[in-house]
């Protein structure tokens, strides 16, 4: 299934042979994107396997293989589909426990959130990690019952994303305003989604506050990811977060928040609304709600053209449809 249907197969490695990859490599004075670790770490991780450990069947062009996500397979590959092979058996044999949403988020976020600043400046596209949607896009090779609640997966993923973005910021001596806006939007999103959380994320509204807040936010967001993954999830929790996020129209009418940061908030918000609605079966065929959600996606699509007031009006319509 992986080799035929999974976009992790072949495509990530093949991306390194495109004209765009060559353009980025040239800008960074990378001789060959298909062999440089700055590129292959995510796109072709088998490239980093030492020559003396490569078996006859190893092909770097396979891209991101099963082992990239599930861990070295020597001790579990033959037995992992046996019906009597339990989750504990697989984990004991070295198979990464991706049923644990915290472990899954940590596995996926490594390649799906942060990009080195020099790569971004050279033309690498920005990444935005969203655990639930990216899992849904995978060819299903697990039981739905063991996949976890979609809203819970979304929340764990957003907390892990904020932790990783905060870590990236802690290494950057001269953070750009664009990157601040992406980071601050995630802070806002989790503050809004979890107003009663015992793990408080400090408020940040301007670039100069970043240095004081980033360490606390990194720690708090990791705690939220851990706690949310371990929580017993209910539809009531999903509805509470959905209502909190849907009720933020006034935030987008706040003229003290600059348009670029509002656009980044909307970018994260619409993805969250989509996954929370998808987690509640009764809302999947709710036409007024789905129509408003489609409008929100369209309005958040272009960052330079983003209109906060218009987005706020559509968000109010979405919120009203929830009631």
What secondary structure does DSSP assign to 3-44, as a single string?
Answer: HHH-TTBSHHHHHTTSHHHHHHHHHTT-S-TTT-HHHHHHH-
Percent of the chain clearing pLDDT 90 (strictly above): 54
C-alpha dist (Å) from residue 211 to 132, 170, 171, 191, 218: 31, 8, 11, 19, 12
Domain ranges of the chain: 2-322
Above 80 in pLDDT, residue 293? Answer: yes
The span from the CA of 246 to the CA of 293, in Å, is: 10
Percent of the chain clearing pLDDT 70 (strictly above): 91
The span from the CA of 233 to the CA of 119, in Å, is: 38
Give the tokens for residue 82.
């046996």
Question: Do the beta carbons of residue 161 and residue 193 sit within 8 Å?
Answer: no
What's the angle, vertex CA 266, arms to CA 262 and CA 267, rounded to 5?
115
Question: Do the beta carbons of residue 245 and residue 288 sit within 8 Å?
Answer: no
The span from the CA of 54 to the CA of 154, in Å, is: 36
Give residue 181's Cα distance to chain centre: 16
Give residue 156's Cα distance to chain centre: 9
Question: Do the beta carbons of residue 252 and residue 308 sit within 8 Å?
Answer: yes
Question: Do the beta carbons of residue 272 and residue 193 sit within 8 Å?
Answer: yes
C-alpha dist (Å) from residue 153 to 44, 90, 104, 210: 26, 22, 9, 27
Please tell me which residue, 140 or 145, carries the higher pLDDT value: 140
Region 208-227: mean pLDDT is 85
pLDDT tens by residue, 230-260: 999 999 999 999 999 999 999 999 999 999 9
Above 60 in pLDDT, residue 1? Answer: no
Region 126-135: mean pLDDT is 92
Q: Which of 62-71, 73-82, 139-148, 211-220 has the lowest mean pLDDT?
A: 139-148
The span from the CA of 119 to the CA of 126, in Å, is: 10
Cβ-based neighbours of 69, under 8 Å, separated by 6 or more? 8, 96, 98, 107, 108
CA atoms within a 13 Å half-sphere pointing along the CA-CB vector of 85: 13
Above 70 in pLDDT, residue 209? Answer: no
Judged on CB neighbours under 10 Å (0-12, 13-18, 19+), 128 is: middle
């Amino acid at each position: 299934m992986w080799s035929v249907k999974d976009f992790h197969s072949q495509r990530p490695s093949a991306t390194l042979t495109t004209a765009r990859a060559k353009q980025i490599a040239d800008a960074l004075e990378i001789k060959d994107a298909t062999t440089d670790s700055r590129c292959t770490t995510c796109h072709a991780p088998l490239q980093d396997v030492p020559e003396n450990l490569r078996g006859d069947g190893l092909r770097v062009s396979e891209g991101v293989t099963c082992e990239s996500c599930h861990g070295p397979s020597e001790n579990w590959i033959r037995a992992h589909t046996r019906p009597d092979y339990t989750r504990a058996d697989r984990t004991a044999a070295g198979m990464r426990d991706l049923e644990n949403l915290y472990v899954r988020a940590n596995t996926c976020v490594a390649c799906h959130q942060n990009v080195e600043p020099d790569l971004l400046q050279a033309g690498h596209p920005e990444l935005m990690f969203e655990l639930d949607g990216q899992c849904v896009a995978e060819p299903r090779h697990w039981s739905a019952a063991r996949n976890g609640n979609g809203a819970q997966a979304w929340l764990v993923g957003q907390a892990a994303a904020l932790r990783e973005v905060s870590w990236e910021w802690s290494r950057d001596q001269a953070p750009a305003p664009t990157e601040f806006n992406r980071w601050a939007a995630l802070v806002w999103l989790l503050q809004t989604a979890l107003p009663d959380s015992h793990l408080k994320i400090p408020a940040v509204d301007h670039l100069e506050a970043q240095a004081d807040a980033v360490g606390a936010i990194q720690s708090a967001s990791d705690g939220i990811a851990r706690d949310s993954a371990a929580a017993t999830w209910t539809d009531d929790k999903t509805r509470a977060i959905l209502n909190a996020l849907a009720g933020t129209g006034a935030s987008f009418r706040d003229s003290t928040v600059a348009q670029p940061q509002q656009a980044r908030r909307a970018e994260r918000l619409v993805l969250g609304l989509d996954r929370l609605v998808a987690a509640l079966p009764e809302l999947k065929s709710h036409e007024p709600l789905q129509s408003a959600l489609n409008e929100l996606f369209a309005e958040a699509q272009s960052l330079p053209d983003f209109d906060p007031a218009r987005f706020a009006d559509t968000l109010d319509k979405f919120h009203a449809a929830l009631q």
